[in-house]
Amino acid sequence: MPLPQAPGFLETRRIDRWWIQPTLVFLGFGAFIVYSTWAALQGSNYFTGGPTHPGAQQLLSPFYSPVLWDATGLHSGHAWIGQQPAWWPTWLLFSPALFILPFPGLFRFTCYYYRGAYYKAFWGDPSSCGVGEPSFRGTRYRGEQKFPLLLQNAHRYALYIAILFIGILSYDAWVSLWSVDAEGVKHFGISVGSLVLALNVILLGGYTFGCHCFRHIIGGRQDCFSCHKHQHAAWKRVSWLNTRHMLFAWLSLFWVGFSDVYVRLCSMGIWTDWRIVG
Amino acid sequence: MASHAQPVTDSTTTRPVQFKIWRGDASGGAFEQYTARVTGGMVVLDCIHQVQAEQVPDLACRWNCKAGKCGSCSAEINGKPALMCMTRMDTLPTDQPVTVEPLRAFPSIRDLVTDVSWNYEVKKKITPFTPRKPDRPDGTWTMYQEDIERTQEFRKCIECFLCQDVCHVLRDHHKHDEFIGPRFLVNIAALEMHPLDVADRIADLKDRDGIGYCNIGKCCTKVCPESITITDNAIIPLKERVVDEFYDPITRLLRIFRSK
Amino acid sequence: MSIPEAIVHEHDVIVIGAGGAGLRAAIEASATGAKVAVICKSLLGKAHTVMAEGGMAAAMGHVDDRDNWEVHFADTMRGGGYLNNWVMAEHHAKEAPDRVRELEAWGAVFDRTKDGRILQRHFGGHRYQRLAHVGDRTGLEMIRTLQDHGIHQGLDVYMEMTVIALLRSGGRIAGVLGYDRERGRLRVWRAGAVILATGGIGKAYRITSNSWEYTGDGQSLAYEAGAEIMDMEFIQFHPTGMVWPPSVRGLLVTEGVRGEGGALRNSEGRRFMWDDIPEAYKNQVAADEEEAWRYVCGDKNAQRPPELLTRDHVARCINREVKAGRGSPHGGVFLDIAWIKSRVPNGEEYIKKKLPSMYHQFMQLAGVDITREAMEVGPTTHYCMGGVRVDGDTQMSSVPGLFAAGEVAAGLHGANRLGGNSLSDLVVFGRRAGESAARWAKEHGAAPVDNAQVESETARALAPFDRLNGENPYAIQSDLQNVMQRLVGMVRVQSELEEALGHIASLRARAANCGVVGHREYNPGWHTAIDLRNLLLVSEMITKSALLRPESRGGHFREDFPLRSEECTGFNLVASRADDGSMNIQRRQRPPIRADLQAIIERMK
């Protein structure tokens, strides 16, 4: 097809500030990636309370949940298995977050909203609507039609795992309602940290259950809604969340990061986790 | 009783506005500058008509209903794909010339007119509507409002091809031979989610129609004059149906069991 | 055959126009095995049918089981001032339901009733809820359905073509001469039969709801080919067009707004439609607002709000209010749908859902939120009841082999068309025309094309290119629109009509000297020059016919003869070209109506 030449990189006749959005996305995602990587590599200050800190509310950073093994010398009270395994090579950095973070990371990486956003912000494909692309791609463009991005089609499996995490994080929020005293007796109480973790679950839930895959699986795959009334009802609710998927994606991204900051600073003794009730 | 309508713009004052209109044909062209007299409520198409009627009678421009219903007067206004008849002048900055140029994802014919025949060829290849057997002896079917709402959204499409124009797969990567573009993904979504339709277009979607080339930038949704949620409601659900059929081992396994 | 520089195509049936009627005709003709071509002025799927909003009248009785074809027939005749071709009115009422169901079988998705059938809505002049619809975009649904069905029927579609002349051979039709706008190349389509489905004439007026294509092409082509054109004095002025801002003046505001309860008010806030109820509808109008609202909600015992009287009447009432100084700021009246918020829960959402494109149209083009404010509306040229005189069964014109369907054909609507009867007209008579044209073509075969006619018509079409200093055709078209709007509009009087004829004659002289700059490729100046010929012809037909009907009826209102005359019920006016080339208008006596149909009319009075 004899087309006008493809526009050059960043070439456009748009006169609005089209570059603001991809720039904000780049900065937002970039900041999160940098912080979360740093936080995950710390391997410490990821909880408060527990057997070594009697009396404090039991908060656990969502970056580290679930804890399979605690880092050496730490006793969060959340570990499923125990301490850092003996077979772990000494030259390899150990952090409980390394086993956990890839899964929600994968969910977000393959998320339909994030895909559209980071293709633009991180590799200019396209830079923005109606704005020219880097010329090296040209007709060699593969999109998600071919490997490697073909693998994005596995998003629903990342969703299944993400749903498990919602359960685990809910449990963490529940646990955060208790502190354990030196005698090992549990005391009910609500602290600011409990609220932070609870809100984290709500926002992550809003994001996870507004997922496009979830919307499809829960009912969207049906052609006849009147023949599947329950699926239709569920689909409508998920659709409500789905139209706000971007909003929940950003809110939950910010809040999960903030939850880690909160737990970390409380654990370091810089912030105090004020108790509201109990 | 509702309050009476007040004029939102002043129609009595006329001001000159500069336009840069692309003139040329398949062999090339350039922007040329014209001036239009603009009064309140005018749209870009009014200005083009004024220039055509008073200055350059052979300025080629395609239009029809001038009411946003036929989708003929698609163009790029200040770099954004839009219907000229629905773009009000008072939404554009006029301290600099307004650029008007033809759709860039299709070959030029002349001035603002492009050759969109590719779209008609693509549509012909899509498996047509194939209804199930009628539910009633008089040849009619029972469908409820909730069954048709998704399809009705897609059927609002006026085929202005703005979504095709803005889609970088066509615009930048020229994948016209491998990808059918957002308009026809919406078309297929309307058929696939039609409660009466029994044809299967999923294999075509995956291979011939190249749905995987869409990388969900949502530019199509942003330019749609009918506000069809193209990406979220049509393309992504179709991608998921392709996954069901081809990329999800569990659903494939379930299908094998069910078919036995 | 050698025709200089023309590309020649051979078909059995040629359909000119790709709106609802043209596509339906092409589908039908093609289904009989004929080789069919569709020639259209715009791209496929852009025809004016897309602008039809309210719905498609068909007595299916899904919402009100008292409805049947007899009621629909009687409504159509009453609305048309009994000047309708009753054969067509009968076919139409009987066949419309099947045509709706057929669209559904081809993929159309109409709004549904609670029990899962096609929903029907109220409309002006229809006694019961009768219009199958899709929100307020029913025309788009129809055209897309026919288009998507048609492209798989083996039709050859020629897009963006202008037809210059119908080719004749010894009194019958032989083909079509035209050119493609893209390259300006001449083309000849040879065919056994030709179906005109070119729509109306709205662009003869300044204020119109019609798109640029509506330049009376079919009426003019048929007239020049020797066919009779009937009822051209009857022009429908839709009561509710936008009046503000000027750029969108005339743009249609669907009758569906009133169907959903929209009230017409003057500047004093009064629902003025109650001030003047015509005799024929005395028993069909609600006593007060309460009853009117119950009717809108579907109460079968309530009568209609006066806003839902026929379009000719509503348009005249609006005109009266404006002239009496009770109009809105921009010379219209107020159409208020926002008031229903006091009657329906979540009214704002309800209005947006029921009238989505109206909401957007006003929001985007006028900055008016119809869920909060009243719209300003006024009459706009909308529809031409007249057109090519056709046989009621076959749709064949007085020229053998030339057929017409849809707005370009006369007969079904008489003096005034009911809203919703147009979409059903398109498919009922599109189908009939397609079927009979294919049969005719099969029986009579092709005829030789007269090269001399091709050459002379070609020369005529290309002449404007030779007049380098000729007048700009846009200016002439604009002047013609002003003349028709001012002198041959809604309210007519002998002196003004005669004045208009004088203007038309001088405009014709100017048009004969118009010139076109540039070359033949996609040159809108040239297209306008060709359209101008047609516009001048139909304008003359309208004006002359209007002079010769000394009464007021339907879409024809004479200030000097404000009442309906019994004598005038007996004839239709027919225009044809005399041997000397002048326009001849005759009274044609109407055939007496069949007794059983007359009985239906009497029963429904």
Q: What is the CATH number of domain C241-380?
A: 3.90.700.10
- Asked if the Cβ–Cβ distance from B143 to C112 is below 8 Å, we say yes
Task: Tell me the shortest Cα–Cα distance from B69 to chain C, in angstroms.
Answer: 6
| Mean pLDDT score, C491-509 | 97
Residue B93 sits in the same domain as residue B142: no
Whether residues B104 and B149 fall in one domain: no
Paired residues of C175 in beta bridges = C167, C190
Distance CA B172, CA B150 (A): 30
Q: Lowest-confidence range among A17-31, C515-529, C568-582?
A: C515-529
Q: Which chain A residue's Cα is nearest to B193? A: A223
Q: B128 and B225 in one domain? A: yes
CA distance A210 to chain B (A): 11
**Cβ pair C554, C515 in contact under 8 A:** no
For an interface test with B, the pick among C149, C181, C247 (most B C-beta atoms closer than 10 Å) comes out as C247
The answer to whether B218 contacts chain A (CB < 8 Å) is yes
In chain C, pLDDT over 90 holds for what percent of residues?
Answer: 92
Interface membership of B78 toward A (CB under 8 Å): yes
What torsion do the CA atoms of C249, C252, C258, C260 make, to the nearest 10 degrees? -130
Average pLDDT over residues C415-434: 97
Decide if B240 contacts A212 (C-beta within 8 A).
yes
* Category of C333 on φ-ψ map: left (φ > 0), alpha (ψ -120 to 50) or beta: beta
Residues B217, A129: Cα–Cα separation, whole Å? 8
User: Which of B114, B137, B156 delimits the end of a domain?
Assistant: B114
- Would you say residue A166 lies in a domain? yes
Q: Is the pLDDT of residue B8 over 50?
A: no
DSSP symbol at B246: I
CA distance A213 to C310: 51
Residue B260 has pLDDT above 80, yes or no: no
Give the count of domains, chain B: 2
Contact (CB, 8 A) for C201 and C219: yes
Q: Cis peptide before A126, with omega less than 30 degrees from 0?
A: yes
Kindly state whether residues B197 and B238 are assigned to the same domain. Answer: yes
pLDDT at C280: 85
Q: Does the CB of B23 have a partner CB in chain A at under 8 Å? A: no
| Residue C291, pLDDT above cutoff 90 | yes
Distance CA A22, CA A121 (A): 5
Asked if residue B191 and residue B103 are part of one domain, the reply reads no
Q: Which residue on chain C is closest to B41 by alpha carbon?
A: C245
The domain ranges of chain C are 241-380, 453-565
State whether residue B25 is helix, strand or coil: strand
- Give pLDDT, residue C577: 97
Q: Are strands A275-277 and C193-196 parallel, antiparallel or unpaired?
A: unpaired
Contact B170, B161 (CB under 8 A): no
Query: Residue A6 has what pLDDT?
Result: 73
How far is the alpha carbon of B54 from chain A, nearest alpha carbon, in Å? 27
Cβ separation B156–C46 shorter than 8 A: no
Q: Which of B240, B245, B246 should we substitute to test contact with A (largest number of A Cβ atoms within 10 Å)? A: B240
What's residue B40's pLDDT?
86
Q: Which residue has the tokens 């068909």?
A: C58
Residue C1: closest CA among C461, C317, C454 = C454
Residue A243 located in a structural domain: yes
Q: Is C299 helix (H, G, I), strand (E, B) or coil?
A: coil
- Taking 70 as the threshold, does the pLDDT of residue B9 lie above it? no
The CATH number of whichever domain residue B34 belongs to comes to 3.10.20.30
Shortest CB distance from B168 goes to which of A112, A133, A217?
A133
d(CA C526, nearest CA chain B) in Å: 8
Q: Alpha carbon of C200 to those of C220, C343, C403, C420, C546: distances in Å?
A: 11, 39, 16, 16, 17
Q: φ and ψ at C588, to 5 degrees?
A: -115, 115
Give the pLDDT score at A137.
Answer: 87
- The pLDDT of residue B2: 43
Test mutation, C41, C48, C50, chain B, max B CBs within 10 A: C50
Ranking A49-58, B153-162, B175-184 by mean pLDDT, the lowest is A49-58
Q: Are residues B121 and B208 in the same domain?
A: yes
Does C226 have pLDDT greater than 70?
yes
Q: Find where tokens 């030029």 sit.
A: B108
Answer whether B215 sits within 8 Å of A143, measured CB to CB: yes
The answer to whether residue B159 neighbours chain C at the CB level (below 8 Å) is yes
For residues B125 and B219, state if they share a domain. Answer: yes
The pLDDT value recorded for residue B3 is 41
Q: CB of B63 within 8 Å of any CB in chain C? A: yes
Q: Are C201 and C409 in contact (CB under 8 A)?
A: no
Domain membership of residue A14 (yes or no) is no
Cβ distance B71 to B62 under 8 Å? no
Q: Does B129 lie in the same domain as B56?
A: no
User: Phi, psi at residue B122, to the nearest 5°?
Assistant: -60, -45
Residue C374 is given by DSSP the state P
The pLDDT of residue B1 is above 70: no
Q: Which chains touch A (3 or more CB pairs under 8 A)?
A: B
| Residue span of the structural domain in which A115 resides | 20-133+143-277
DSSP string computed for C79-145? HTTT-S-HHHHHHHHHHHHHHHHHHHHTT----B-TTSSB-EE--TT-SS--EE-STT-HHHHHHHH
Predicted pLDDT at B140: 92
- Any domain includes A6: no
Let me know if residue A230 belongs to a domain: yes
CA distance C45 to C52: 13
Q: Is residue B6 part of a domain?
A: no
The per-residue pLDDT of chain C, averaged, comes to: 95
Is residue B226 assigned to a domain? yes
β-pair partners for A109 = none
Assigned fold of C453-565? Methane Monooxygenase Hydroxylase; Chain G, domain 1 (1.20.58)
Of C34, C4, C40, C3, nearest to C19 (Cα)? C40
Chain C contacts in chain B segment 130-149 (CB below 8 A): 131, 134, 138-145, 147-148
pTM summary value: 0.94
Amino acid at B160: C
- Burial of A50-87, coded b for 16+ CB within 10 Å and e otherwise, reads beebeebbbbbbbbbbbbbbbbeebebbbbeeeebeee
Contact B43/A at CB under 8 A:
no
* B74 and B157 assigned to the same domain: no
Q: Are residues B20 and B102 in the same domain?
A: yes
Interatomic CA distance for residues C23 and B146, integer angstroms:
30
Say if residue B6's pLDDT is above 60: no
My answer on whether B232 and B127 are in the same domain is: yes
**What is the model's pLDDT at position C181?**
93
C133: buried, middle or exposed (CB in 10 Å: 19+, 13-18, 0-12)? buried
- Residue B13 and residue B53 in contact, taking contact as beta carbons nearer than 8 Å: no
User: For residue B65, which of C46, C250, C235 has the smallest C-alpha distance?
Assistant: C46
Report how many domains make up chain A: 1
Residue B40's domain comprises: 15-114
Distance CA C467, CA C378 (A): 40
* Neighbour subunits, C (≥3 Cβ pairs < 8 A): B
Does the pLDDT at position B11 exceed 70? no
Q: How confident is the model at residue A130 (pLDDT cuts 50, 70, 90)?
A: very high
Q: What is the pLDDT of residue C555?
A: 95
Tokens, residue C380: 């706009």
- Whether A95 is covered by a domain: the verdict is yes
> Above 90 in pLDDT, residue C354?
no
Distance from CA of B240 to the nearest CA of A (A): 7
- What was the pLDDT predicted at C50? 94
Model confidence at A52, pLDDT cuts 50, 70, 90, reads: confident
Confidence of residue B5 (pLDDT cuts 50, 70, 90): very low
Kindly tell me if the per-residue pLDDT of A29 is higher than 60: yes
The answer on B94 and B203 residing in a single domain is: no
Give B33-43 pLDDT, tens digit per residue: 999 999 988 99
Mean pLDDT of C128-133: 95
CB contact under 8 A, A213 and B240: yes
Instruction: Determine the Cα–Cα distance for residues A119 and A127; give it in Å rounded to an integer.
Output: 8
